[in-house]
Amino acid sequence: MRKKIVAGNWKMNLNKSDAHILYKNLESKSYPNDVEVIIAPASIYLDSFSNASKVSISSQDVSANDNGAFTGEFSAEMLSSMNLRFAIVGHSERRTFHKESDLLIFQKVKMLLKHGITPIFCCGESLSDRESKNHFNIVKSQLSQILTMLSKKEFSKVVVAYEPVWAIGTGLTADPQDAQDMHSFIRGLISEAFGSEASELTSILYGGSCKPSNSRELFSMKDIDGGLIGGASLDSESFESIVNSF
Ligand code: 13P
């Protein structure tokens, strides 16, 4: 049985006091035992949430480098020293605004695995990719390095998040069947690379305007194992309701 996961990506939102209020609200709720609930606050708040018990804490990013002269960055070793278990990498906002390449993202994945942290690896096509029916090729190429350059053992620690760029923060959600088709395609690629057992054990999350009104239908799809939630994760009631829609 693969793990069900709902992760809230807070992005660059919330001042310190609002972040603590949201965190406290989320920690006061109860969640199904079989769902891993994760929140990814801004990196400067990570350490203050290290006592979390109901939710796990994730970074939103990590450096591709070992500790050293990289002003403003933080390393996988630092995250590991705070007992963090997860880090998002390759989010489309990092790919777009910081020009992150597939190679750089792969290097981040390697660095996280070296320090025992689970990468939540994001992929997803733009609107023009989808309109030109190139979406499967784009996602395949985004996944190519982790599927060809990680060992099977390394890959077994990776969580994949499919986030169509056109659905992020737009209110447009992928049609559940379209999302399922992409998730099934991704699972097929994993199976080709590492075998069907490995592919059946990989959690593949959906992200992009996922909210209480559509999460149940999305999560009922065979290959959708949870969600990576942006806007709706900033409201504790909405986030709880998404988690409980499993
Ligand atoms: P929204 O849920 O706001 O569309 O954001 C999705 C996302 O980017 C999560 O990483």
Q: pLDDT per residue over 105-149, tens digit each? A: 999 999 999 999 999 999 999 999 999 999 999 999 999 999 999
pLDDT score for 115: 98
DSSP label at residue 232: G
pLDDT score for 171: 87
User: For residues 234 and 242, is the Cβ–Cβ distance under 8 A?
Assistant: no
CA distance 102 to 111: 14
DSSP, collapsed to helix, strand or coil, labels residue 119 as strand
Choose one of 5, 12, 92, 163 to mutate for the ligand 1 pocket test, by most ligand atoms within 8 angstroms of C-beta. Answer: 163
231 lines ligand 1 (CB under 6 A): yes
Residues 199-215 have pLDDT tens digits of 999 999 999 999 999 99
Structure tokens at 124: 């997803």
For ligand 1, atom 7, which residue shows the shortest CA distance?
Answer: 230
Q: 169 CB contacts (<8 Å, ≥6 apart)?
A: 209, 230, 231
Q: Can 91 be counted among the known catalytic residues?
A: yes
Q: Which atom of ligand 1 is nearest to the CA of 210?
A: 2
pLDDT score for 246: 87
Considering 93, 100, 125, 163, which one is annotated as catalytic?
A: 163
pLDDT score for 150: 98
pTM over 0.75, yes/no: yes
Q: Which atom of ligand 1 is nearest to the CA of 167?
A: 4
Count CB neighbours of 21 within 10 A: 12
pLDDT score for 101: 98
The CATH T-level fold of domain 4-243 is TIM Barrel (3.20.20)
61 lines ligand 1 (CB under 6 A): no
78 lines ligand 1 (CB under 6 A): no
Which residues of the chain have a pLDDT value below 50? none
Q: 15 CB contacts (<8 Å, ≥6 apart)?
A: none
User: What does the CA dihedral 105, 109, 111, 116 come to, rounded to 10 degrees?
Assistant: 160
208 lines ligand 1 (CB under 6 A): yes
